[in-house]
């Protein structure tokens, strides 16, 4: 006997990628380093002509229609995308529907076959799409660079390999949860002379249509985990990128649609819905009764609006105030260089970038000797100045500023009240002389001016806050995290007891801590298969890349029973 109709299976697509799925599933459990997508853009890994060929593809796309999407549409829309490096519009048009209901109807129709497909087939198709996407990493890098302002290397790594890692992580965790329990159980309970017998049949049912709302700074890295988590769970997804950063996700959606079509599924299962800054459709989509799942990355105000929508399952990453607690160090210069890189990387336009640096006003203990507050400040200022003014490293690390609002915020920071330790200046970029750039502004905040450190100042804005001692530093950092949220925290101490206290007190605010970072690893970085990005434990977001909750809330397990006389 079988109650539920057998799910559609394409065995060959699963077998093709079964080994990678097993490796990824093992990595999810072990939390060790793992990636099938090398982060260095080498010819050996990606092909001798891949970089040049895909740069030509990018250049040929400028000013034209993006015709690689296979979804239904009834019109074309010219995007607002503009390069922070050249200041010029990309001039790309995308296929659109002129009304919201058409997206909904097309998506719901496309979902019928997908939701009746087994997890093996879904996993195989989704991993195939990531393998196919690998052949577009250079184009995605240029698309990301010229929409977000990230430097080329960061654009390649974050939007290509690292985003694919996070997507594969979601697939592996989703597959594991979908197959955790048997679909058929013969149940028997002794009851005296007789036994009670039931045949139990289980199935997984997706929650319904998903909406992925993208951000302007990390369009693929932030969107792909939720997109793939919803797809592996059996749901259709409408992808709504930020109007200023559409091109990178258009490539992703186009590749997924291509693989879906090749395997007999409707490409409308994943639809790209684009808009302009002046005429946005995000709220109309989010509020539509058919949309059941929403993934959002962006500002706190809109994030709270999404979280408060009735009848939705919502996963958010919003803003937070990230802190650095400095108590004692072995090497002051090494610490200062690490902090300088962290605050300068992508001009502070990362959700993990440090903002508030707490230093005891009496100074800190060194391995040999003592450093005053002024010594610590000077070390950080000089390291930052040396980095951003370096003719080769400066512009390569800082990239360009994505939003005009961020530029204005940096310019106004000097007037907030405080001692300016380092003024913000444009960073010269010899390849792109018209690039929109600003170096970090570093401000010492007096005790009576601390109100200015209680909110996120997105961009290259850094505050150094003198404190009574490290205990007060911890109280301020944890209090801000609890009240306003935090995604990262960095701490420097050679005291094991204080290290444990910092770790525990910040953990209680839902904030992970990175201790004593020097060299080439930075608090900004999060690794797929190992680090949990955002915890869901404070106001910076209610979800985490990628724990079990991130996938299991996207489907329900239904178990029906048949009595056996």
pLDDT per residue as tens digits for the range 460-477: 999 999 999 999 999 999
- The more confident residue out of 11 and 225 is 225
Q: What is the mean pLDDT of residues 141-165?
A: 98
Which tokens in the block code for residue 60?
Answer: 């040929």
The proportion of the chain whose per-residue pLDDT surpasses 70, expressed as a percent, equals: 100
Query: Quick one: pLDDT at residue 1?
Result: 61
Virtual torsion, Cα 325, 326, 327, 328, nearest 10 deg: 140
| pLDDT of 448 higher than 90 | no
Mean pLDDT value across residues 45-52: 94
For the segment 527-554, the average pLDDT, to the nearest whole number, is: 96
- Kindly state whether residues 295 and 334 are assigned to the same domain: no
Mean pLDDT of 350-354: 96
524 found inside a domain: no
Number of structural domains the chain divides into:
2
Alpha-carbon span 399 to 554, nearest angstrom: 36
The CATH number of residue 200's host domain is: 3.40.605.10
Answer yes or no: do 338 and 486 share one domain. yes
- Same domain for 299 and 380, yes or no, is no
One domain for residues 510 and 560 = no
Query: What pLDDT is attached to residue 4?
Result: 74
315 and 412 belong to one structural domain: no
Q: Is 541 a domain residue?
A: no
Residue 391 lies in a domain: yes
Whether residue 369 is found in the same domain as residue 482: yes
Task: State residue 414's pLDDT score.
Answer: 85
Pairing of strands 237-240, 270-272: parallel
Please report the pLDDT score of residue 519 as a whole number: 92
* Burial classification of residue 183, based on how many CB atoms lie within 10 Å of its CB (0-12 exposed, 13-18 middle, 19 or more buried): middle
Task: For residues 285 and 347, state if they share a domain.
Answer: no
pLDDT digits (tens, 9 = 90+) for 185-201: 999 999 888 899 999 99
Q: Which domain holds residue 178?
A: 54-319+547-564
| Same domain as 86, residue 235 | yes
Q: Which of the residue ranges 36-50, 76-90, 278-292, 378-392 would you say has the lowest mean pLDDT?
A: 36-50
Co-location of 86 and 119 in the same domain: yes
Q: What is the pLDDT of residue 213?
A: 98
Specify the CATH number for the domain of residue 392. 3.40.309.10
Return all residues near 99 (Cβ < 8 A) that are at least 6 apart: none
For the segment 405-420, the average pLDDT, to the nearest whole number, is 91
Q: Read off the tokens for 87.
A: 């200041």
Residue 535, in any domain of the structure: no
What mean pLDDT do residues 268-292 have?
A: 98
- 99's torsion region: left (phi>0), alpha (psi -120 to 50) or beta? beta
Kindly state whether residues 305 and 369 are assigned to the same domain.
no
pLDDT of 313 > 90? The answer is: yes
For residue 9, pLDDT over 90 is answered with no
Asked whether residue 132 is assigned to any structural domain, the reply reads yes
- 341 and 249 in a single domain? The answer is no
| Residues 151-167, mean pLDDT to the nearest whole number | 97
pLDDT higher than threshold 90 for residue 415: no
Q: Model confidence at 69, in pLDDT bands (50, 70, 90)? A: very high
pTM of the predicted structure, to 2 decimals: 0.96
Residue 270 and residue 124 in one domain: yes
* Average pLDDT, rounded, for the chain: 96
Q: Does residue 433 lie within any of the structural domains?
A: yes
Within a domain: 25: no
Residue 224 lies in a domain: yes
């Amino acid at each position: 006997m079988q109650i539920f109709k057998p799910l559609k299976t394409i065995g060959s697509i699963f077998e093709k990628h079964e080994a990678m799925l097993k490796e990824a599933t093992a990595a999810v459990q072990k939390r060790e380093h793992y990636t099938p997508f090398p982060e260095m853009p080498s010819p050996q890994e990606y092909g001798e002509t891949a970089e040049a060929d895909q740069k030509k593809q990018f250049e040929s796309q400028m000013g034209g229609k993006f015709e690689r999407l296979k979804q239904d549409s009834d019109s074309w829309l010219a995007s607002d995308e503009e390069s922070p490096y050249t200041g010029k519009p990309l001039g790309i048009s995308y296929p659109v529907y002129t009304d919201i209901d058409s997206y909904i109807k097309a998506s719901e129709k496309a979902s019928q076959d997908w939701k009746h497909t087994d997890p093996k087939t879904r996993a195989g198709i989704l991993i195939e799409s990531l393998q196919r996407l690998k052949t577009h990493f250079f184009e995605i890098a240029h698309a990301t660079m010229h929409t977000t302002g990230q430097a080329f290397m960061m654009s390649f790594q974050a939007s290509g390999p690292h985003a694919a890692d996070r997507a594969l992580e979601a697939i592996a965790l989703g597959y594991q949860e979908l197959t955790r329990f048997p679909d058929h159980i013969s149940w028997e309970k002794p009851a005296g002379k007789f036994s009670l017998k039931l045949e139990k049949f289980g199935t997984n049912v997706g929650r319904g249509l998903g909406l992925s709302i993208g951000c302007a700074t990390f369009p693929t890295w932030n969107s792909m985990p939720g997109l793939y988590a919803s797809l592996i769970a059996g749901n259709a997804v409408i992808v709504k990128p930020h109007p200023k950063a559409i091109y990178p996700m258009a490539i992703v959606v186009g590749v997924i649609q291509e693989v879906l079509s090749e395997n007999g599924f409707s490409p409308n299962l994943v639809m790209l819905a684009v808009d302009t800054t002046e005429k946005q459709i995000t709220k109309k989509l989010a509020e539509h009764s058919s949309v059941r799942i929403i993934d959002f990355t962006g500002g706190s105000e809109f994030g709270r609006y999404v979280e408060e929508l009735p009848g939705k399952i919502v996963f958010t990453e919003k803003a937070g105030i990230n802190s650095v607690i400095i108590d004692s160090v072995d090497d002051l210069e090494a610490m200062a260089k690490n902090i300088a890189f962290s605050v300068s990387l992508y001009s502070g336009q990362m959700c993990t970038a440090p903002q508030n640096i707490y230093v005891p006003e009496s100074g800190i203990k060194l391995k040999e000797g003592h450093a005053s507050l002024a010594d610590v400040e000077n070390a950080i200022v000089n390291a930052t100045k040396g980095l951003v003014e370096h003719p080769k490293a400066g512009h390569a690390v800082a990239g360009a500023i994505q939003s005009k609002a961020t530029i204005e915020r940096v310019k106004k920071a000097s007037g907030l009240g405080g001692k300016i330790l380092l003024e913000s200046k444009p960073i010269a970029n010899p390849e792109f002389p018209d690039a929109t750039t600003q170096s970090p502004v570093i401000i010492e905040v007096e005790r009576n001016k601390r109100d200015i450190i209680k909110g996120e100042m997105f961009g290259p804005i850094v505050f150094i806050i003198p404190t009574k001692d490290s205990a007060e530093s911890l109280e301020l950092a944890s209090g801000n995290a609890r009240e306003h949220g935090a995604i990262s925290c960095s701490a420097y101490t050679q005291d094991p007891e204080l290290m444990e206290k910092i770790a525990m007190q910040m953990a209680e605010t839902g904030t992970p801590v990175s201790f004593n970072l020097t060299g080439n690893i930075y608090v900004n970085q999060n690794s797929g298969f190992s680090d949990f990005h955002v915890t869901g434990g404070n106001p910076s977001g209610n979800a985490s890349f990628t724990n079990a909750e991130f996938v299991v809330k996207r489907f329900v397990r239904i178990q029906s029973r048949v009595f056996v006389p």
